[in-house]
Structure 1
Amino acid sequence: MFVSVTSAVRRGLWIGLIAVEVVAFSCAAAFAQAGPLPSWNDGPVKTSIVDFVARVSGGADFVPPAERIAVFDNDGTLWCEQPVYFQVAFAFDRIKAMAAQHPEWKTTQPFKAVLDKDMKALAASGEKGLLQILATTHAGMATDEFSKAVGEWTATARHPRFNRPYTELVYQPMLELLAYLRANGFKTFIVSGGGVEFMRPWTEKTYGIPPEQVVGSSGVVKFEINAAGQPELLKLAKVEFVDDGPGKPAGINRFIGRRPIVAFGNSDGDLQMLQWTAAGPGARFLGIVHHTDAQREYAYDRQSKIGKLDKAWDEAVQRGWTVVDMAKDWKTVFAFERGSTGASQ
């Protein structure tokens, strides 16, 4: 049964619609006045991004919205990755928090090295030691419990150099790029070597990227009914999928199902993702963030043990991919440089 709408309701609806249109027009006008990517310096890099988006969203190289897929590495591309990957910092803090229940760690490596802040001993433990730390801090608990631990850590932990929450160490120009792409019909994904369950608790609030659009390395989880009679997913100390290097295009195929037309990375671990994206037909945009700003962030590339940029840099130059010079191309690195928090819109 349909009920007729009174004239008063009609007037209210019209007033509401007009108000929405006025707000939308004001926001659009403000955006047009500020221009896209305000934290990017004018120059070839910014121009190439804006021109590409214009071409594929309504220009000569039009791409249907469903095919406008953009993928981004996380560590070193969307947020800082020095002096250690932030997930490793999380693992170290977890070891310290769990130490009271494990007195044997005071004399057992690699845990002793973490507790003593002995980086030399920790380095000597190598990849095996790091994997042992990650297994201890990331497994043997329910996924909900792990997500809660990540949330508590991101709310309280502070970066050793900047003394700010790690989630404020996101790059303001990249936040703007994510928002700009979405405003032009793109769907944005994270494709990272980091753990998928470490990233998902905070990426939506920080980047505007929901959990289902985060692809990362993952461990095996097992469904079980716990002691309280409730179903849960238990994290096991077994690797299921490594989303790094050649694993990135495999992860894109497995979890996204479309070849991207935009890919951004910052290291050799992103090379295969960039190659896979570039190999598709039609217009493509390949970007690499080059860390060149030791004053505002860090400067490193070929010799770095974290975020090494060597082969990917050479291929970018050879193939004409866009290399973002952080010191040259970004007006602002972090939002807090201008008194903001760095959260995405």
Structure 2
Amino acid sequence: MNWNECPVLVTGGASFISSHLVDNLVNQGATVTVVDDLSNGKKENLSKSWDSIKFVQQDLEYVSKNEMKKLFDGNEIVFHFAADHGGRGYIDTHPADVCSNFAIDHHVFDACNNSSVEKIIFSSSACVYPTELQNEIGSDYKLKEEDSDCDKLNGFLSADVEYGWAKLMSEVQMKSFNKQYGLKGCPVRFVTAYGPREDVTHAIIALIYKAVEKMDPYQIWGNGQQERDFTYVEDIVTGSILAAEKISDMTPINLGTGVRYKMIDVVKMICEVLGWEPKEFDFDTSKPTGALSRSLDNSRAKQLLGWEPKFSLKQGLEKTVEWFVENHKIEGKVNEASLLDHTN
């Protein structure tokens, strides 16, 4: 697929992952429109591409059908990344807010169907998977796309808290628009994405934030043994673009590394990058931790997209720490409230 002069709409395009996506598309010559209400996104995230894009400030939850059609008409590809989102602390403490994603997603799918849009790529999540498959520390099971199969509506579906259910049901919506109207697209399932421009409600940035502020005792949510698969933002962007190029039938695609790391080991890796370590760790088991052990099988991404992650966790952490240090004003303390809610 040639992206040069391809008209592309990115919803939520001023946020973390999507702003990197915008930069990539602009570099490939695409004609990009960004729609964002700036509730979480920031214009500064788009500074590299600002002069080359069209920006529309709009909350997609409260737009009429006619206005949505006007926004979407003229675009060939839509990357739908707009959502009320955050890390585990945020989604656990904002269950009603994240359910609004289901309504936003319906408006977007409907607008794609009623306009010139040929294909939509949807930012889904590893939270669409049943937690019962992720409740054993030390497990070597990797979550497969068929573990949450939206083609099997007469079978068992489950997901991780309200955020995961909203994402899963939006995948069901996508499939329904494909069945009834022939809408083309692909849901891409992200797992613990991290990198520059991310806010401190998310795990990796929160851990870096605490280390940069030299929090001691250094607080880790949970017992530190919970395991995650971490995917660097540039790998997420590459996979999402490949999905737009190669998938049309709403086949979901996992974008993960397939490698697990314990949270305590991630913290120690961050401290190593910074050249500092606390005298003591404090494990706060009262805080939200999510699934005990989560990793994605990326076989389908390799087979259908030719995609593999290029960044190891250590490489990604080095780049993320460098960005954070350059952009964070040290205060000598950690603002605990910012770990649970967005601050602009």
Greater relative contact order structure (CA < 8 Å, 6+ sep): 1
- TM norm structure 2: 0.34
- TM norm structure 1: 0.34
Q: Which has the higher helix share?
A: 1
Greater C-alpha radius of gyration: 1
